[in-house]
Amino acid sequence: MSEAIKVILKQKSIPVLVDFCIEEKIEFNVRPQAFPDTDWEFNLMVKDIKTAVTTGMFLRENRIDIAGNEQPKPKKPVATKKSKEEEEKNAATGAEETTPTEKEDKGLF
């Protein structure tokens, strides 16, 4: 198992990662990013599972994201709109519409 973990860092975070790599004896390569020019690309060479787990824990603890591993953002539920006729009908009768969960929560008492 000889895999590379790609990480994009700002210049201020570089010393923390370099110190970790030196302590854990992890081989790494560094290249400047073309755009934006304040970011740097690190490739960490992971050779065994223990190093991979340790590196993952370090990256998570320091809130450093692995490039290409972005989590999808949760989708917000789409609110259903009432038709104009339903709104006028409820306004004319003075009745408030209850959701099915409110009807179920009432119970026997």
Q: pLDDT grade, residue 2 (50/70/90)?
A: low
**13: which DSSP letter?**
G
Each residue of 24-71: pLDDT tens digit? Answer: 999 999 999 888 778 899 999 999 999 999 999 999 999 988 887 665
Nearest in space to 69 (alpha carbons), one of 7, 2, 4: 7
34 vs 10: CA distance, rounded Å: 13
What number is the average pLDDT over the span 76-103?
Answer: 64
User: What is the domain partition of the chain in residue ranges?
Assistant: 3-61
Nearest in space to 30 (alpha carbons), one of 48, 49, 4: 4
CATH of 3-61, one of 3.40.50, 3.30.70, 1.10.3470, 1.10.1060: 3.30.70
